[in-house]
Amino acid sequence: MGTTSTSSTPDILRGTLDLLILKSLSWGPAHGYAVAHWIELATSDALAVGEGSLYPALHRLEEREWIAAAWGTSENNRQAKFYTLTRRGRARLRVEEQNWRRYAAAVFAALDAPGRA
């Protein structure tokens, strides 16, 4: 049996994190900290992304050519890697959004279903 987390911030599943990163970058290029911050803001702080999850996910998405990276200067005048959604990434975002909406609808249907007879 798995362990149950008592944390008020649930862990983000890999596929969900990928979807949220792609969605964040659909608004324009951003560095890693800005992506994590957007996810926190967009979820009203319900989901937080640590560096140990974020940067491996960004590298994975870059390897899949769903995002591209280039060095630039952040708003704090520091060198940072900025990530941009590619054409392939935008297409993947559409697919992942549709899949997630179907999945979420199915889970909500199960949660609202009457008990067994």
Give the separation between CA 44 and CA 110, rounded to whole angstroms: 25
Q: What pTM was computed for the model? A: 0.84
Q: pLDDT 10s per residue in the chain (117 long)?
A: 444 444 444 556 667 999 999 999 999 999 999 999 999 999 999 999 999 999 999 999 999 999 999 999 988 899 999 999 999 999 999 999 999 999 999 999 999 999 887
14-112 fold: Arc Repressor Mutant, subunit A (1.10.10)
Task: Return the closest-CA partner of residue 42 out of 15, 71, 16, 69.
Answer: 16
Domain ranges (residues) in the chain: 14-112
Quote the tokens at residue 110: 């199960």
Beta strands 79-85 and 67-73, pairing class: antiparallel
